[in-house]
Amino acid sequence: MTSLRTAVPIAVPMAAPMASPVVTAKTALPVPDYMRDVYRWAYIDPRNVRLLDRNIVVSTILWGNNRRLQRITFGEFEPGQRVLQAAHVYGDVVPNLARRIGPKGHLEAIDITPIQVACMRRKLTGLPWVRVRRANAREPGGGPYDGVCSYFLLHEVPDDWKRAIVDGLLASVKPGGKAVFLDYHQPPAWHPLKGLMSTIFDHLEPFAKGLWDREIWELAENAAGFSWRKETYFGGLYQKVVARPLAAGSDGESVGQPEFADEGSLCNRTRGGIKFHSRAPAKERPSNKHRPGTTRKFLP
């Protein structure tokens, strides 16, 4: 269940189940209404699934950035870690993530639709450190994890699901771990693809602009309990947001300052009572976006 999500051969040998509930006819998860009503053609129809689950499709949708975005995302995880992949992705994304983690680690790969779970099992066959199961990213289970990966998932779900998924994934991260969100981002007005992407979203991805209207950290109920680092790519069309649990003081309160890396040079940013220190990747053009209520001061 991901519009631009990739996956390569990695199947999970049905080895010792971990502490997640067994799915039976009585306990099976329902396929969400939005999935049936909006994305049946892309993620449920067997013929289209076979046609779309190819690297060339993913690379085309991502304007040739498929490999780069995988490197950017997977570089956040280390071999030997225990990682959750929050949904299936077309192409070779999930297998490549599994290879990044390696046989000394463990990858838990979930999806909410049976056909997408079957696709992952087929691709991940032969990788004993990978386990595929059907689950809802709002309540993924099996945690805590060293890392959680959401790769082009949030733009495909309604706003209430965005909030629930962000909270569910953050709750699955162990102290010292991280959640990594790679997804679309609102490009600046000068971006040559902004108009075209807006039209595509209006017709094919009706929930995507929810990520144009707000920051990912704004979707989290407990944003202040995490540090936040954001980087944008391809002129601001894509974003990577990394959330890490903040250490708790003796009184149980979070301590330390969240960090927020935004497109542009080093800056301080305060919003919603949370202060962020920002730095963006070197080759990106600075953003002109200035939201109401945001204090933005550029430093030398």
Ordered per-residue pLDDT tens for the chain, 300 residues = 544 443 333 333 333 344 444 444 445 789 999 999 999 999 999 999 999 999 999 999 999 999 999 999 999 999 999 999 999 999 999 999 999 999 999 999 999 999 999 999 999 999 999 999 999 999 999 989 999 999 999 999 999 999 999 999 999 999 999 999 999 999 999 999 999 999 999 999 999 999 999 999 999 999 999 999 999 999 999 999 999 999 865 344 444 444 544 443 333 344 444 444 344 444 443 443 433 333 222 222
Specify the pLDDT at position 196: 98
Can you say how many angstroms the Cα of residue 243 is from the centroid of all Cα atoms in its chain? Answer: 11
Which fold is adopted by the domain 33-257? Answer: Rossmann fold (3.40.50)
Residue 72: helix, strand or coil by DSSP? helix
Give dist(CA 255, CA 226) in Å, integer: 10
Cβ density class 53-78: b for 16+ within 10 Å, e for less: bebebbbebbeebbeebbebbbebbe
Cβ neighbourhood burial of 22 (10 Å; 0-12, 13-18, 19+)? exposed
Q: What is the rounded CA–CA span in Å between residue 177 and residue 147? A: 6
Give the pair of three-digit tokens for residue 289: 């976006």
Indicate the angle between helix axes 93-101 and 114-123, nearest 10 degrees. 50
pLDDT of residue 39: 95
Q: What is the pLDDT of residue 257?
A: 47
Supply the pLDDT for residue 259.
53
Give residue 229's pLDDT. 97
pLDDT for 29 equals: 86
**Tokens 């649990």 sit at which residue?**
245
Q: Where are the beta strands (DSSP E) in 36-91?
A: 82-85
pLDDT of residue 27: 52
In 3D space, the residue among 124, 60, 114, 61 whose CA is nearest the CA of residue 92 turns out to be 124
